[in-house]
Structure 1
Amino acid sequence: MNKKSILIVDDNRLSRTVLRDILIDAGYNIYEAQNGEEALKIYKSNYPDMVILDVVMPGLSGFDLLKILRDDEENLLVPVILLTSKNDFEEKLRGLELGADAYITKPFNEKELLIQVKNLFQRIEHNRMANPLTGLRGNIDIKYEIRRRIKSGNLYAVLYIDLDHFKSYNDYYGFSRGDKVIKQTSRILTDALDKCGNTKDFLGHIGGDDFIIVTTPDKIDVMCNYIIKKFDEDIKRLYDDDDMARGYIEILNRRGEVQRFPLISISIAVITNEHRKFENELEISEVAAEIKRKLKSMNGSKYLKDRRKD
């Protein structure tokens, strides 16, 4: 998976350098800002996974920046650690009231810093209601991620991914083997991001056999083709040999009639802001629903991009 990124905001160059070296050695990607104004620009362009923020800075103070971040709903889940050279209880209370997650007093201990960062990431991930089956981020993060992309004004692509004939597989083989299909799909999508995507691409699990990827338009073709090829190869291993040889499974319906269902395939509905503007995530999901209905009328694994203009 992609490395976690941390934005360090401190007007003291030496302090930034020490923090940067420690965190890079620990495997994190680092952004740096020397004041609050610069930090806001970097934040809106890169959306780091954590902010380490000095309290006392000229101009926009650490408290001012923290309040700006927390006033925006999309930033509520981003962990913030405050740094200060003072050991002031009232100052600490103010920071916590504004929404800071942790507080470290300078000069800081390297081991303490790394433990704070690691524990905070673990706690935030646990509280984000990740899907229990796949461990992928759930609907709260999905909503925030799409809102962020819309607000950024940059080009983005949203891939809505679901499985065809998964219910018949579940009914035929049982939920335990159905869960294996979901986990395998999760691994394929994770690999697709690592091999074909950008550093800040997003993967979420809506629920059941529905997933979502947020990437950029230039990655659509290579990513979708990778997912389809890998899925069609791997799904064969999750069928019994006899069913695989036939190329379908047979299930009795409620009327006692035998119905044939083809092997599970994967469908990807692609929506971008290249030719049309979206105001919120609901507008995107409505277009995705239209594309998914068209995909359901097509056989096999496939992807379809919405090319309509405003």
Structure 2
Amino acid sequence: MFKKKILIIDDTPFMIKLISDILQNAGYDVTSATGGAEGLLKVRAEKPDLVILDVVMPGMSGFEVCKILRDDESNNLMPIIILTAQDNEEDKLKGLELGADDYITKPFNPRELLSRVRNTLKRIDRNRWANPLTGLRGNVEIQAEINSRIARKELFAVLYIDLDNFKAYNDVYGFASGDRAIKLTADILQDNVNLFSNGKDFIGHIGGDDFVVVTVPENAEKIAEGIITDFDKKILDLYTQEDIQRGYIVTTDRLGNQMKFPVMSISIAIVTNEHRTLFSSLQVSEIAAEVKKKAKSVQGSVWIKDQRRG
């Protein structure tokens, strides 16, 4: 199994050994540097998953190291936890202002150290897999979420959401407007999931104009209805008055032929394991593709639920 690599930058051998022992016993791969310059070299050479950085070091301080690391864009997603003296509020604030993700005060409790390391790595991993436009989690976490619910034998429903006529809109209005349509859709999904959520719902962004919501079966249709109502109303804000009154936009194909495309609508396919056993996220996506094809054949916004049994 792949181990997360943690680099400790501290000028005190005792502190390096103390932290190393705690982290290694928890299953992490640990490396160390006894000063700022050596630490910067090790970051470049070893690409650690997380850096634990002491503030007070001779020569180059932890603050200087933190600033150098954050000034390099290639380190943007590498988390930094700073080590500060007990009750030194100024060090904590300065470290956070320079881009540190968290801090640990010395002396520390081993349990606190591990909690902060785990939580920081988990948060950064989520950011790494998140869609950069919407901030929603992507394919890897979508599949993991569905497979996890299957493994726990939970009843669940998956909404696969797709925009109709998005490509034509993107071509006519431009990529910036297309991005606004994607962000608007993400916001609408979040609003309606929050409205009907049981607290365990999941929203993912497959990519482009494709989204996923994982919820419980009893909330699936209410969420779908809410999404459609909000989308049909709010999407009009992204069109010119002329196109709204006309009811369509005009674009040309590669041969120069004029083509008319209606205002964007939204298609939702709902797949549940209420009446049949589902074995994997792949199976769920294959069923959803069939149902979504039917939904997209209907003009306007619509949701269709898979009713097949067995």
The reply to whether TM is greater than 0.5 is yes
Q: Per the alignment, do residues 106 and 210 of structure 1 end up closer, same or farther by CA in structure 2, a change over 3 Å counting?
A: same
Q: Per the alignment, do residues 189 and 172 of structure 1 end up closer, same or farther by CA in structure 2, a change over 3 Å counting?
A: same
Q: Which residue of 2 aligns with 1:205?
A: 205
Q: Distance in 2 between matches of 1:240 and 1:148?
A: 44
Could you tell me whether the CA contact under 8 Å between 2:169 and 2:264 is conserved in 1?
yes
Q: Secondary structure at the residue paired with 1:267?
A: strand
One-letter amino acid of the structure 2 residue matched with residue 94 of structure 1: N
Q: Distance in 1 between matches of 2:162 and 2:288?
A: 11
Deviation sequence 1:187-231 (CA, Å, 0-9, x none): 000111111122110000000000000000000121111100000
Q: Per the alignment, do residues 273 and 89 of structure 1 end up closer, same or farther by CA in structure 2, a change over 3 Å counting?
A: same
Are residues 1:189 and 2:189 paired?
yes
Q: Distance in 1 between matches of 2:118 and 2:280?
A: 32
Q: Per the alignment, do residues 112 and 283 of structure 1 end up closer, same or farther by CA in structure 2, a change over 3 Å counting?
A: closer
Q: Which residue of 1 aligns with 2:258?
A: 258
Q: Per the alignment, do residues 153 and 112 of structure 1 end up closer, same or farther by CA in structure 2, a change over 3 Å counting?
A: closer
Deviation sequence 1:130-176 (CA, Å, 0-9, x none): 11111100111011001001111110000000000001101111111
Are residues 1:95 and 2:96 paired?
no
Q: Which residue of 2 aligns with 1:123?
A: 124
Could you tell me whether the CA contact under 8 Å between 1:156 and 1:214 is conserved in 2?
yes
Are residues 1:246 and 2:177 paired?
no
Could you tell me whether the CA contact under 8 Å between 1:96 and 1:102 is conserved in 2?
no
Could you tell me whether the CA contact under 8 Å between 1:160 and 1:269 is conserved in 2?
yes
One-letter amino acid of the structure 2 residue matched with residue 165 of structure 1: N
Deviation at 1:111, TM superposition (A): 9.0
Q: Which residue of 1 aligns with 2:46?
A: none
Q: Secondary structure at the residue paired with 2:266?
A: strand
Q: Per the alignment, do residues 274 and 241 of structure 1 end up closer, same or farther by CA in structure 2, a change over 3 Å counting?
A: same
Q: Per the alignment, do residues 95 and 113 of structure 1 end up closer, same or farther by CA in structure 2, a change over 3 Å counting?
A: closer
Deviation at 1:109, TM superposition (A): 9.5
Are residues 1:286 and 2:286 paired?
yes
Q: Which residue of 2 aligns with 1:108?
A: 109
Q: Which residue of 2 aligns with 1:214?
A: 214
Q: Per the alignment, do residues 92 and 157 of structure 1 end up closer, same or farther by CA in structure 2, a change over 3 Å counting?
A: same
One-letter amino acid of the structure 1 residue matched with residue 296 of structure 2: K
Q: Distance in 2 between matches of 1:92 and 1:275?
A: 46
Q: Distance in 2 between matches of 1:242 and 1:136?
A: 33
Are residues 1:150 and 2:123 paired?
no
* Aligned alpha-carbon RMSD (Å): 3.2
Q: Distance in 2 between matches of 1:243 and 1:89?
A: 63
Q: Distance in 2 between matches of 1:162 and 1:252?
A: 23
Q: Per the alignment, do residues 122 and 280 of structure 1 end up closer, same or farther by CA in structure 2, a change over 3 Å counting?
A: closer
Q: Distance in 1 between matches of 2:236 and 2:291?
A: 26
Q: Secondary structure at the residue paired with 1:268?
A: strand
Q: Per the alignment, do residues 102 and 155 of structure 1 end up closer, same or farther by CA in structure 2, a change over 3 Å counting?
A: farther
After TM superposition, the structure 1 = structure 2 runs for residues 140-179 of structure 1, keeping only pairs within 5 Å, are 140-179=140-179
Deviation at 1:252, TM superposition (A): 1.6
One-letter amino acid of the structure 1 residue matched with residue 133 of structure 2: L
Q: Distance in 1 between matches of 2:120 and 2:291?
A: 41
Q: Which runs of 5+ in 1 are unaligned?
A: 1-69, 78-86
Q: Secondary structure at the residue paired with 2:259?
A: strand
Q: Which runs of 5+ in 2 are unaligned?
A: 5-17, 31-49, 53-103
Q: Which residue of 1 aligns with 2:10?
A: none
Deviation at 1:115, TM superposition (A): 5.8
Q: Per the alignment, do residues 281 and 118 of structure 1 end up closer, same or farther by CA in structure 2, a change over 3 Å counting?
A: closer
TM value normalised by structure 1: 0.66
TM value normalised by structure 2: 0.66
The farther-off stretch of 88-97 and 196-205 is 88-97
Deviation at 1:303, TM superposition (A): 0.2
Q: Identity of aligned pairs, percent?
A: 44
Q: Per the alignment, do residues 222 and 108 of structure 1 end up closer, same or farther by CA in structure 2, a change over 3 Å counting?
A: same
Q: Distance in 2 between matches of 1:284 and 1:115?
A: 36
The farther-off stretch of 87-96 and 296-305 is 87-96
One-letter amino acid of the structure 1 residue matched with residue 209 of structure 2: D
Q: Secondary structure at the residue paired with 1:96?
A: coil
Could you tell me whether the CA contact under 8 Å between 1:161 and 1:267 is conserved in 2?
yes
Deviation at 1:255, TM superposition (A): 2.6
Deviation sequence 1:83-140 (CA, Å, 0-9, x none): xxxx6854642312499x999999739997886576344323223x211111100111
Q: Secondary structure at the residue paired with 1:255?
A: coil
Q: Per the alignment, do residues 168 and 283 of structure 1 end up closer, same or farther by CA in structure 2, a change over 3 Å counting?
A: same
Deviation at 1:296, TM superposition (A): 1.6
